[in-house]
Amino acid sequence: MTVAHSLEIRGSILRAACLAGATSSALAFSQPASANEANFDLTEAFDAAFHDEQQQADSAAGDPVITSAEASAPVSAAPKLIDARLVASQFVDIPVAGDAEETLRYSGRVDAYIDIKGRAFGLDDSFTLTIRPEFTWGEDSNGVIGLIPSNTALFRGEDSGDFDVSVSLSKQWNSGTNLTVGKVNVLDLGGQLPIVGSDGHYGFQNLSFALPPSAVIPNTITGALLTVPTDDALFRLWVFDPDSQFERTGFETAFESGVGFLSSVTFPVKIGGAPGFYALKLSGSTRDDISATNLPSVLVPPPGTTFGNTQGEFAAVLAAYQFLQVYPEAPGKGWGFFGQVYTSLGDPTFLDQSGFFGISGNPRGRPQDRFGAGYFRYSLTDELVDVLAPRIGLEDEEGVELFYTVGVANKFELTANAQIIDSAIAARDTGVLIGMRLTTAF
């Protein structure tokens, strides 16, 4: 009897760890974007991880182990030449407490994800060309209560437009090593992180959780991204232009502000049979000025001040994503906790310390639904606060976000969201923002 084997537990967990190893480390208050992770299927990875022990027991008993995908897929089926999908979200929100005017706002975002296999342009299918357009519309509430954007999907740099496109080429080796070169949009990685799983369309909406700011790495980058899985850990190294590439090709002023880097190692761990991922991440750049294009204008120091003159920047992150319960009857579903602590050397980096923690996952009775609750606190660099003191009083920004998503139908999800934010602008009262999000996927 021929036995069709499912993915090994090591490979499954490392693919999920790949997603945990980069995103939460290093993103500035910059324009949203995405990265090419088409070769990593988080649902497949978790499915294999959750069911590995039972599959091993079945194999030991002499029973064939055949996954549903293996049972239904033709033996000689080739990968799709072009894989495309579209995700659109519409938002309504209104401040209900604090200093902000109680104005109901409507806005939206649509993203396309297009992966073209190498045989379409004369290479083999270990190559993938990713084209990633995005478009937003309407009026959002970012900046109305806190300085950190309350709606990741709708965040844009000041005076930026509503459309951008990223293009990158990836090479995948049999070992799992992956190299991506081009303009990439890191926002999508947030949607694939274990437990947090937020990319603006899904999960948490506040940038603090969806795409944690570090003030070192912009969301849209031009560079090279290398991922290397081993038996015990997942390693990642990025080299990139530290300037935001939103609405740019990446060649206009290539690396004129210096060179940025990210290195990380992620360790997969199982506690009580549930998978977890623990990461150490280091990032920095050779730039010698503040990343002004990634900041609200209120945080940009006036010319001639002392802040932003130091050469080089460096930051470190410890992050954890641990499932507490997984559901064998619903592969890839469960719930758990997440957390991160961040520190930098300060000047010219505008954040010096931050942290957040929370829980998120799926209710067992309705695994198509999702919930989340988290707390965050971000600290502006002391020297920057001092320089800006004559203009505006600043302090740490902290807040809480709660959300619940109802899986209305196969392609529709409706999310209720509430955020309580004590703004970094000292003169503002604590504000409350409530809203709804309708997400459609094709």
Quick one: pLDDT at residue 336?
97
Q: Does residue 229 carry a pLDDT above 60?
A: yes
| Predicted confidence (pLDDT) per residue in 361-392, tens digit | 999 999 999 999 999 999 999 999 999 999 99
Average pLDDT over residues 416-433: 97
CA distances from 260 to 215, 222, 282, 286, 350 (A): 12, 10, 11, 7, 16
Quick one: pLDDT at residue 399?
98
| Predicted confidence (pLDDT) per residue in 334-356, tens digit | 999 999 999 999 999 989 999 99
Quick one: pLDDT at residue 77?
62
Quick one: pLDDT at residue 2?
34
Judged by average pLDDT, the poorest of 17-31, 43-57, 136-150, 303-317 is 43-57
Judged by average pLDDT, the poorest of 41-55, 168-182, 205-219, 303-317 is 41-55
Confidence of residue 63 (pLDDT cuts 50, 70, 90): very low
For domain 9-441, the CATH class is mainly beta
Sign of the Cα torsion 425, 427, 431, 435 reads negative
Quick one: pLDDT at residue 50?
41
Structure tokens at 352: 């010096």
CA distance linking residue 337 with residue 321, whole number of Å: 6
Q: Does residue 25 carry a pLDDT above 90?
A: no
Phi and psi torsions of 437, nearest 5°: -140, 130
Other Cβ atoms closer than 10 A to 358: 19
Which comes out higher in pLDDT, residue 310 or 320?
A: 320
Q: What is the mean pLDDT of the chain?
A: 84
CA distance linking residue 72 with residue 116, whole number of Å: 24
| Predicted confidence (pLDDT) per residue in 237-261, tens digit | 999 999 888 888 878 888 988 999 9
Average pLDDT over residues 25-35: 40
Distance of CA 73 to the CA centre of its chain: 31
Which comes out higher in pLDDT, residue 303 or 85?
A: 85
Of 323, 271, 262, the C-alpha closest to 27 is 262
The structure's pTM equals 0.83
Quick one: pLDDT at residue 290?
83
Q: Does residue 60 carry a pLDDT above 50?
A: no
